[in-house]
Amino acid sequence: MAIAKWEPLKDLVTLQDRMNQFLSDTLNTYETENGRTVQDWIPAVDIYEDADAIQLHAELPGMEMKEIEVKVANNLLEIKGEKKIEKEDKKEHYYRIERVFGRFARSFRLPGTVDQEKIKAKYEKGVLTLTLPKREETKPRSITVEVH
């Protein structure tokens, strides 16, 4: 018999996530001039860290770098932009439209270890990659321990 750890806040957090998604879907939808609806969206992001830097990868398919804005101020990294809806071809009869269009914004609090002056951005194959190098004095280092 497996014993499952009871986590009383897990259901509450799940409910909060569902309510946030519901309200986001409801409040962030608007209609374009051609009658189609567009939603604000939240791009998927992967963040990982190694000894030298923090890497952030944001999926932004179908966009150009000029449509993406990256700002850093007061230890806050902000990525925002807008994926414009493509012109509708009157000859085509759409059966389904699942691609996401609209505005997006993501913000991330930066740890004090990041050297904000050396952040680099690269956009390739629909993925924005941000390299956030660590300040030299905060990088891990080895210390030799003498045994007496």
Delimit the domains of the chain by residue range: 41-136
Tokens encoding 65: 């770098």
Residue 91: the pLDDT is 60
Whole-angstrom distance between the N-terminal and C-terminal Cα of the chain? Answer: 52
Tens of pLDDT along 77-135? 999 999 887 766 666 676 777 777 888 999 999 998 899 999 999 999 999 999 999 98
CATH topology of domain 41-136: Immunoglobulin-like (2.60.40)
Tens of pLDDT along 27-61? 555 554 444 445 578 899 999 999 899 999 999 99
Whether the per-residue pLDDT at 143 is higher than 50: the answer is yes
Give the separation between CA 41 and CA 60, rounded to whole angstroms: 10
Whether the per-residue pLDDT at 71 is higher than 90: the answer is yes
Higher per-residue pLDDT: 143 or 57: 57
**Residues facing 124 on adjacent strands:** 127
Beta strands in the chain (DSSP E): 29-31, 37-39, 45-49, 53-59, 68-73, 76-83, 102-109, 120-124, 127-133
Residue 36: the pLDDT is 46
Whether the per-residue pLDDT at 69 is higher than 60: the answer is yes
Residue 26: the pLDDT is 58
Is this prediction's pTM over 0.95? no
Higher per-residue pLDDT: 45 or 24: 45
Residue 148: the pLDDT is 82
Tens of pLDDT along 59-68? 999 899 899 9
Residue 12: the pLDDT is 75
CA angle 105, 107, 111 (to 5 degrees): 165
Q: Among 42, 44, 40, 78, which residue's Cα sits nearest to residue 59? A: 44
